Every structure is written in structure tokens, then in C-alpha cells.
């Protein structure tokens, strides 16, 4: 009975990894090969008019393969993981009903987690507990609170740096308000909302090679007209204070246009910050034990064979 319920779940092939590693190109080739469609999992590609700096699939690529969850809102409209989850799951339901293989491609780990596992709903916290813990931190120091956390929730303590006072207080306030460790609630969440069978393919690459690709990618964005794209957005009234305008590439171009950075420094910071972002993405995805890491340059045939087997129902990854 349980196996029958599992087999009835939609199957998702997720192509993950840091920026610049080749996720979009591989997802398009996979979708073409297996007759599927692609869900975007990049938090910036949901914005209209922001095409070059987000490395959004070109019109030609979108004509080759249907892409979903792209160009959903304007830069001044709010968008968040909860809304992405709602729209994404609705799209998956539609694709599943018509029998189309479903591919998810992108590097926004929170969106992928929200889509495949849902969002963690925090237990109710007593305000008095929070205030008391903050007061204790001022009087005794954060280390004393961290030591207490190690006693009541050692699992969570191992995942928090001893200087991370915010997360220490967060974990302690949950324990003191509910008498249960926050790790208990997270475990319940992680195993409770699993509507899909997933094959998570993480693309990895030699770091020096990836960093070279990132620098080349920044160069191509500039050649394609990133500066003109940003100037056009500002002319449309999308100011530098908007969250999308403070993202990678857009922030540096805004600073150049505002005379806060010269051109060479704007480009240098864009490359540097993109490298740092790629490193953070890798750290996020490496923490997910379900991801199967492969190098497309040497494992290409293996990737296609794994996807073929998974979509035929011959294997599954959770």
C-alpha cells in the first residue's frame, strides 16, 4: 500500500549547484531529450525586465522548452518563498496531470526546499521568554546561553557557532516555550511534507575552472548590455532601494550610474561578489545529503542514464 502511494507521487528531476556551473543548459538538454518542461528555481528570474543580470533563459531557449515561474512580477512587487511554493506546486500538479516530465533548475536553495519540503512553521513563542533570554545574554554573555543550549538540544548546538547569539536565543526560546528542542520540530517538518519523489543532481566543477567561468559570464553580461538594462530599469522608476536592484550585478551597475563606483571597481566587485555567492550556494547544497554530485564534463552519460531510469520509475531518490 505504501509503495503504491509512493509510486503515485510526481517525480521531479532537480538540477542544482552554484551559479555559472551550467544548470540551465543541462536542464534544457534533459527536457528536450525526455519531452519535459522546466520550473525556474532562481529567485531573481521571477522579475520582469531583469533578463541579462539574472541569466534568464533567452527567448530562443524558452521557445525550445517551456519554462515556468519566469517573469511573474515587476521589481517593485513583493515575492517570497511561500508564494513560490504555492505557484510551483500548482504548476507541478498541472504538468503531472498531462504526463509531462518535470525538471526544476536553479540555485536558490530556499525556494527548492520550500517546493520539495514545504516551509518550517515556527512553534508559538512566549514573548516573556524571548525578553528574558536577551536580558540574560547582556548580563552573562552569549557563551553561557550556548552552554545551556548544548545541554537541552545538543543536536542543534552542533549546527550553531558559539558566537551566533541570534540562533542560540532562537533555539532556547523554542525549548523554554514548548519543552521540546527546535530540532524536534524541524525533523517533524522535514519528514512530514514530502509530496514528490525527487532526483537531485548537483553539478560540481573544479573551483578554479568555475571562477574562470564566472568571470567570463560577468563579461558576457556586460557585453550584452547589463548597464543599459539597469539604466532602463531606473528610467522606469525602479529605484536603487528595491530588493531586486540590490542584487548581484544590479547593485554594482546602480553604484556606477550613481557615481559611487568607477567602472573598473564596479566590474571587480561584481566578479568578486558572484564568486562569494557561488561559494555560499555550494555550502547550502552540500548540506543536503540527497544531492548526487556529478561533473557534467565527465559524467554526462551517467546523468542522462540516471534521469532515464528515474523517470521510468526504476529508481528514486529522496
- Among residues 251, 222, 281, which one has the least CA distance to residue 21? 281
- Between CA 48 and CA 53, with CA 51 as vertex, the angle to 5 degrees is 125
The answer to whether the CB of 131 falls within 8 A of the CB of 154 is no
d(CA 19, CA 217) in angstroms, rounded, equals: 10
Helix axes 142-152, 165-178, angle to 10 degrees: 50
- Between CA 109 and CA 314, with CA 302 as vertex, the angle to 5 degrees is 85
The answer to whether the CB of 167 falls within 8 A of the CB of 160 is yes
pLDDT digits (tens, 9 = 90+) for 182-233: 877 776 655 556 899 999 999 999 999 999 999 999 999 999 999 999 999 9
d(CA 193, CA 120) in angstroms, rounded, equals: 10
d(CA 206, CA 269) in angstroms, rounded, equals: 22
> From start to end of the chain, where are the E strands?
11-16, 37-40, 67-68, 102-105, 197-203, 291-294
The answer to whether the CB of 226 falls within 8 A of the CB of 317 is no
What is the CATH architecture of 127-190? Answer: Orthogonal Bundle (1.10)
Strand 197-203 to strand 291-294: parallel, antiparallel, or no bridges (unpaired)? Answer: parallel
d(CA 187, CA 180) in angstroms, rounded, equals: 12
- Four-residue CA torsion sign, 46, 50, 55, 61: positive
Query: Mean pLDDT across the stretch 160-185?
Result: 86
pLDDT digits (tens, 9 = 90+) for 268-317: 999 999 999 999 999 999 999 999 999 999 999 999 999 999 999 975 45
- Between CA 109 and CA 120, with CA 114 as vertex, the angle to 5 degrees is 110
Contacts of 172 (CB under 8 A, 6+ apart): 133, 145, 148, 149, 152
DSSP states of 201-265: EEE---HHHHHHHHHHHHHHHHHHTHHHHHHHHHHTT--TTSGGGGSTTHHHHHHHHTTSS-HHH
d(CA 301, CA 58) in angstroms, rounded, equals: 26
Task: Determine the pLDDT at residue 185.
Answer: 74
Task: Determine the pLDDT at residue 2.
Answer: 46
Task: Determine the pLDDT at residue 184.
Answer: 77
The answer to whether the CB of 245 falls within 8 A of the CB of 75 is yes
Strand 197-203 to strand 37-40: parallel, antiparallel, or no bridges (unpaired)? Answer: unpaired
pLDDT digits (tens, 9 = 90+) for 39-98: 999 999 999 999 999 999 999 999 999 999 999 999 999 999 999 999 999 999 999 999
Query: Mean pLDDT across the stretch 20-31?
Result: 97
Backbone angles phi, psi at 104, to 5 degrees: -120, 125
Place of cell 567570463: 216
- Between CA 159 and CA 168, with CA 164 as vertex, the angle to 5 degrees is 70
Q: In the chain, where does the domain assigned CATH 3.40.50.300 lie?
A: 2-118+193-217+289-311
d(CA 218, CA 212) in angstroms, rounded, equals: 10
pLDDT digits (tens, 9 = 90+) for 138-149: 999 999 999 999
Domain range 2-118+193-217+289-311, its CATH number among 3.60.110.10, 3.40.50.300, 3.40.920.10, 3.30.450.30 = 3.40.50.300
Task: Determine the pLDDT at residue 84.
Answer: 96
pLDDT digits (tens, 9 = 90+) for 235-282: 999 999 999 999 999 999 999 999 999 999 999 999 999 999 999 999
Amino acid at each position: 500500500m505504501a509503495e503504491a502511494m509512493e509510486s503515485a507521487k510526481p517525480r521531479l528531476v532537480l538540477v542544482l549547484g552554484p551559479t555559472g556551473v551550467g544548470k540551465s543548459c543541462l536542464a534544457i538538454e534533459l527536457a528536450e531529450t525526455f519531452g519535459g518542461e522546466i520550473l525556474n528555481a532562481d529567485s531573481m528570474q521571477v522579475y520582469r525586465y531583469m533578463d541579462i543580470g539574472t541569466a534568464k533563459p533567452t527567448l530562443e531557449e524558452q521557445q525550445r522548452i517551456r519554462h515556468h515561474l519566469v517573469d511573474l512580477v515587476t521589481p517593485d512587487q513583493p515575492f517570497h518563498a511561500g508564494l513560490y511554493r504555492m505557484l510551483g506546486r500548482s504548476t507541478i500538479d498541472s504538468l503531472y496531470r498531462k504526463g509531462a516530465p518535470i525538471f526544476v533548475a536553479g540555485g536558490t536553495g530556499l525556494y527548492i526546499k520550500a517546493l520539495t519540503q514545504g516551509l518550517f512553521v515556527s512553534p508559538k513563542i512566549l514573548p516573556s521568554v524571548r525578553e528574558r533570554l536577551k536580558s540574560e545574554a547582556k548580563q552573562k554573555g552569549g557563551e553561557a546561553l550556548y552552554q545551556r543550549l548544548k545541554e537541552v538540544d545538543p543536536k542543534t548546538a552542533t549546527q550553531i557557532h558559539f558566537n551566533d547569539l541570534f540562533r542560540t536565543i532562537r533555539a532556547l526560546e523554542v525549548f523554554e516555550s514548548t519543552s521540546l528542542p527546535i530540532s524536534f520540530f524541524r525533523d517533524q517538518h522535514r519528514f512530514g511534507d514530502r509530496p514528490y519523489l525527487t532526483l537531485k543532481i548537483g553539478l560540481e566543477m573544479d573551483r578554479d575552472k568555475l571562477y574562470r567561468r564566472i568571470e567570463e559570464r560577468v563579461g558576457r553580461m556586460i557585453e550584452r548590455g547589463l548597464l543599459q538594462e539597469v539604466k532602463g530599469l531606473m528610467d522606469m522608476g525602479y529605484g536603487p532601494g528595491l530588493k531586486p536592484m540590490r542584487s548581484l550585478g544590479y547593485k554594482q551597475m546602480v553604484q556606477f550610474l550613481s557615481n559611487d563606483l568607477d567602472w573598473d571597481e564596479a566590474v571587480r566587485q561584481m566578479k568578486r561578489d558572484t564568486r562569494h555567492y557561488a561559494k555560499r550556494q555550494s555550502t547550502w547544497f552540500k548540506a543536503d545529503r540527497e544531492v548526487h554530485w556529478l561533473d557534467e564534463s565527465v559524467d554526462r552519460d551517467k546523468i542522462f542514464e540516471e534521469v532515464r531510469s528515474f523517470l521510468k520509475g526504476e529508481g528514486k531518490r529522496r
